[in-house]
Amino acid sequence: MQKEPITSLGLEKIKKELEELKNIKRPKIVKAIAEARGHGDLKENAEYHAAKEEQSKNEGRIVEINNLIATANVIDVTKFDKNDKVIFGSTVSLIDLENSKKKTYKIVGQDEADVQKNYIYFRSPIGKALIGKNKEDLITVITPSGEKKFQIKEVKYI
């Protein structure tokens, strides 16, 4: 299996999710299934079928997280030399050359990506355009809304 990069914070986050799924959600689902079984005929028991579906989703996510942890390549950017090069885990400040607005992104793995927090997947169009570039470089990103041009103003390893 191919190693998937993840930040140390991202690994802690998915480990917490795994613990919650195993120790809190799983027992609740088992209890719901047992309760629904007590209502009789399982063929037309909507509560039972909903609980079984929820159990399937929960167990699938547990397997997914276990696989992610097994193939994780934890990258701690705070231990890298500060050389203004954009790498996985770095935080990058950009200037949009079209409207001069400043944007800041942290480049992360797939399970960590969150648009609201400005955490972008390293394989996304902007992530791909940034990786390997240096402070002051100009980049062009092809987005669904068209071509965007940015200048890298700052690279942090936090």
Q: Which domains does the chain have, with CATH numbers?
A: 4-75 (1.10.287.180), 77-156 (3.10.50.30)
pLDDT at 1: 66
Burial call 72-95: b when 16+ CB within 10 Å, e when fewer: bebbebeeeeeebbbbbbbbbbbb
pLDDT at 80: 82
CA–CA distance from 41 to each of 34, 53, 55, 94 (Å)? 13, 17, 19, 61
pLDDT at 111: 87
pLDDT at 86: 95
List, for residues 21-50, the tens digit of each pLDDT value.
Answer: 999 999 999 999 999 888 877 777 888 999
Interatomic CA distance for residues 105 and 128, integer angstroms: 13
Torsion of CA 102, 107, 109, 113, to 10 degrees: -10
pLDDT at 109: 92
pLDDT at 144: 84
Strands 91-96 and 146-156: antiparallel
pLDDT at 45: 84
Could you give phi then psi for residue 143, rounded to 5 degrees? -115, 165
The DSSP secondary-structure symbol of 101 reads: -
Ranges in the chain, pLDDT < 50:
none
Interatomic CA distance for residues 134 and 123, integer angstroms: 18
* Vertex 105: Cα angle to 101 and 107 (nearest 5): 155
* Vertex 97: Cα angle to 89 and 103 (nearest 5): 35
